[in-house]
Amino acid sequence: MARMKTSNDWFSSSCIRIIRAIRGSRSSGSCMNMRQKRNMVGVVAVLLLAIAAAGQVLKGFRYPDYDEKGQLKYEITSDELQVQPDGLIQLKNVKITFYEQGKVMMQVSTPQCLFDRVKRSAVSTSDVCVARKEIELNGCGFALDAQDGRMKILSNTRVVLRNLNSKSAVEGGP
């Protein structure tokens, strides 16, 4: 007895076809480099997710972005996501981790934000915390343009400096 294909079957077979196409680009002489392949897999996965799950709340989200050398530039993770009708992704309990030469450079955390996978941007009106080794910024709301590497805290910004030497650069210290 033949069974009908469900949306899960369609989703699974679509993922398999896309992965095969990306793998096939190696042998067909394609100019697609590793970064392009990784980004394509991420974008395609999010697009398939959007098609399959518009309006549904799903658990877990991970969106990595790599530079032209294949090094991880940043990664967005969240506990929950919901794809909005306009294609934006509502994320909850969000962490955005930025890397430099394979090491964590900065981490941004917020209770929720909207992520635009096409523009690689995120916005929020919620509280935000930006943490680096010697500085912590807290505020309300942010706008992030990950392509340009720019982030703006929108209001109530508070800066906390940590582990500073006794002499500052202004006083002639290191």
Residue 2: inside a domain: no
Q: Which domain holds residue 96?
A: 7-161
Percent of the chain at pLDDT > 90 equals 39
Residue 9 pLDDT exceeds 70: no
CATH number reported for the structural domain that contains residue 123 in this entry: 2.60.450.10
**What percent of the chain is modeled with pLDDT above 70?**
62
Higher pLDDT, 55 or 80: 80
Residue 172 lies in a domain: no
For residues 126-136, give the mean pLDDT. Answer: 93
Question: Is residue 167 situated within a structural domain?
Answer: no
Residues near 146 by Cβ (< 8 Å), separated by ≥ 6? 65, 73, 74, 96, 120, 121, 122
Note the pLDDT of residue 127: 96
- Give the whole-angstrom CA distance, residue 8 versus residue 52: 8
pLDDT at 79: 94
Looking at the structure of the chain, the number of domains it has is: 1
In a domain, 152, yes or no: yes
pLDDT of residue 102: 87
Round the average pLDDT of the chain to a whole number and report it: 77
State pLDDT tens for residues 72-113: 999 999 999 988 888 889 999 999 999 998 899 999 999 999
| Cα 40 from chain centroid (whole Å) | 14
Structure tokens at 37: 């392949």
- Asked whether residue 135 carries a pLDDT value surpassing 60, the answer given is yes
